[in-house]
Amino acid sequence: MARVSSRIGYGFVGVLVVALGGCTGYVKQTDFDAAISELRSNDQKQQQEIDAITQEMHQKFAQYDTQITQMAGRISVDTIAHFDTNQSTLRDEDKKRLDDYAKVMREHHADAVITAEGFTDPSGSAAHNKRLAMQRAEAVRDYLINTGGLNANQVRAVSYGEVKNRQVVPGAHGDKGQANRRVALVTDFAGST
C-alpha cells in the first residue's frame, strides 16, 4: 500500500508540475499592457523617422522639379509651385525654383509666352476653388514679373480650380493632396531661337 500511495503522491506532484508549467505561457495584464505600450511607442518613433526622411527627400529632390533639358539649341523647362491648404502664398522653396525658371526663360526664351495654370485640391466649393486657383496663378505670375524680371505681357494666369481630369492625385486633399494644390507653368510659345 505504501507503494500505491507514493505512486499517487508522485502522480499528483507530476500533474501539479504540468498544470503550473502550463501557466508559464500566461502574461500578467500589466506586463502585456507595458509591452503593447512600448511597441506602440516604437511604432510612433519609427513613423516619425520615416516622415522626417520623407520630408528631407522631398527637400533634396525639389531642385529636380525644375528640369532643364537642352536639345538642338532649345531649352524645355518644367516648373511647378505647390501651396498649403487654402493658401495662395508662395513658399520659400518654390521661390527658388521660380527664380531659376525666370533666369532660364530670360536667357534662352526672352520672347516666350507663359501661362501660369492654377489648381486646387477638391476640398471646398467649386466657386471657392476657382477663385483660390486664380489667386495662386496670379501669385506665381506676379512673382515671375516683379522678382523674376519677366515682361508682364509674356506671363498669363488662368484658373482650373479642382478640375478632375487635371488632379495629380485624384480626389486627394489635406496632406495627401499637396500635389493637387499647384501652379504649373506652361510655355505656350517658346519664342524665336
- Are 97 and 66 within 8 A, CB to CB? yes
Q: Do 11 and 54 share a structural domain?
A: yes
Looking at the fold, whether 72 and 90 belong to one and the same domain comes out as yes
Q: What is the model's pLDDT at position 69?
A: 43
pTM beyond 0.75, yes or no: no
Note the pLDDT of residue 146. Answer: 97
| pLDDT of 192 | 62
Name residues of the chain where pLDDT drops below 50. 1-2, 4-6, 9, 12-13, 15-18, 65-75
Please give the tally of structural domains in the chain.
2
What local confidence, expressed as pLDDT, does residue 60 receive?
A: 59
Report the b/e string of 76-100 with b at 16+ CB within 10 A: ebebbbbbeeeebebeeebeebbbb
Please list the alpha-helical segments (H only) found in 23-125.
Answer: 29-61, 92-108
Task: Report pLDDT for 61.
Answer: 57
What's the pLDDT at 77? 60
Instruction: Determine the structural domain holding residue 54 and report its residue range.
Output: 2-60
